Amino acid sequence: MQKNIGNVLTLFACLLSTLIAIAVQAQEFVPAKVIESSVSENLYEGIWPSRIDSGVAELVFMVDKTGQPKEIEVLRSSRSFFNGPAIKTIETYRYQPATVNAEPVESRQVARVEFDHSKIANIRGFVNPMDAPDGYMSLYNRLRKELNKESPNHRKAVHTLNKIHRLRYKTFFTEVHTQLARYYLAVEFGSKEEQLEPLLKVMMFENIEWGGKRALDDETKNTIQLAILKLMLDLGHNAEALKKYSEFSATNSDVSNAFSSYMQKIKQIQQSDSVLERRVTLTPDGKAFLSLLKKSFVVELVTGSVDNFLIRCERRFARFEYNPEAQYDIPAAWGECEMQLNGAPDTLVSVLQQ
């Protein structure tokens, strides 16, 4: 009898463990998966007729419960004339939507769209040069020579960089070097924000191969990753740094060795009750993007005006009209979140997270 009771209890324990395992599994978040991402060549026709360049655009968007992209925004692009065609490209994508408890949910996605100048040239009937455009290397070397001087001339450097921007038929490789030139110029004359943006643009080219070569070699990529994390930490972009650290350290041991202690401190801040301030300036097109480290925040206006902001999370999307009196609380179940502020150009806001 006692043995039978023991067997029953054992079976009950096994059954309970199975039910718990099933329940936990059912709670797991399954991310969205792209099932259709073909790029039609007619989308290249949206690019300015005078431009025949290679480039990349990085976009953020939500995938709705039916698998269609919505709320598409360009995070950054190597050239602004790629923005429109890139958005049109993402609009054609179709996804298997993310699920929670086997139920479809909205989810945030980030994707890159590549533009190959050879396809643009073919569409427009131009000759397709495979190498760098004429005069590119001489201009690039002239810029580096100027910046390497003990007292570089800002006007000359900017003038040379503008000449580089006006060249046609730029390849993926020349675009990488153009962004690096912008970085070197910012190191000499600009702010840390101005240094960070071109490096983030360079990283958009990390997986591109063209003509049998990689646009970004491993040594350069690793060096840039270290520089990006240092700049993010210096600027107080803690949530972005945490996200990039997770991404970079998976393949770059130097990142893990150099920044693991800093990331632990950020995680401690994330879990503490301390208030974390992040000041953000809206771009000339009236937008600003930032990752949220904490789930409760207040948006204080310093100068200018804010109309609304969007919250894109791993598992949910929300739009809020700006209310200076409101404190916003995001459920933990929504996952990691990013904010997009919309308002007047050059508006300065303070986001207080707690």
Q: What was the pLDDT predicted at 285? A: 93
Residue whose C-alpha is closest to residue 132's, from 171, 162, 79: 171
Q: What pTM value is reported for the model?
A: 0.84
Q: What was the pLDDT predicted at 53? A: 75
Q: What was the pLDDT predicted at 206? A: 92
CB 105 within 8 A of CB 315: yes
Q: Where are the alpha helices (DSSP H) in the chain?
A: 2-27, 83-91, 117-124, 136-147, 154-166, 172-189, 192-202, 218-235, 238-249, 253-271
pLDDT tens, residue order, the chain (354 aa): 444 444 433 434 444 444 334 443 445 889 999 998 866 656 666 665 556 678 899 999 999 999 999 999 999 999 888 898 899 899 999 999 999 988 999 999 999 998 887 776 555 555 454 566 678 888 988 998 999 999 999 999 999 999 988 887 778 888 898 899 899 999 999 999 999 999 999 999 999 887 788 888 899 999 999 999 999 999 999 999 999 999 999 999 999 999 999 999 999 999 999 999 999 999 999 999 999 999 999 999 999 999 999 999 999 999 999 999 999 999 999 999 999 999 999 999 999 999
CB 213 within 8 A of CB 242: no
* DSSP category for residue 132: P
Decide whether 31-124 matches 276-353 in CATH topology.
no
Q: What was the pLDDT predicted at 81? A: 83
Residue 45's Cβ-side half-sphere holds a number of Cα atoms within 13 Å equal to 6
Q: Which architecture does CATH list for 31-124?
A: 2-Layer Sandwich (3.30)
Q: What was the pLDDT predicted at 121? A: 56
Q: Which architecture does CATH list for 276-353?
A: Sandwich (2.60)
* DSSP category for residue 334: G
Q: What was the pLDDT predicted at 79? A: 86
Alpha-carbon gap, residue 266 to 249, rounded angstroms: 16
What residue has token string 């039916």?
66
Two tokens, residue 260? 């693991």
Q: What was the pLDDT predicted at 15? A: 40
Q: What was the pLDDT predicted at 211? A: 75
Q: What was the pLDDT predicted at 39? A: 65
Domain boundaries, the chain: 1-29, 31-124, 276-353
Q: What was the pLDDT predicted at 167? A: 81
Q: What was the pLDDT predicted at 25? A: 44
The 3 state secondary structure assigned to 175-209 is HHHHHHHHHHHHHHHCCHHHHHHHHHHHHHHCCCE
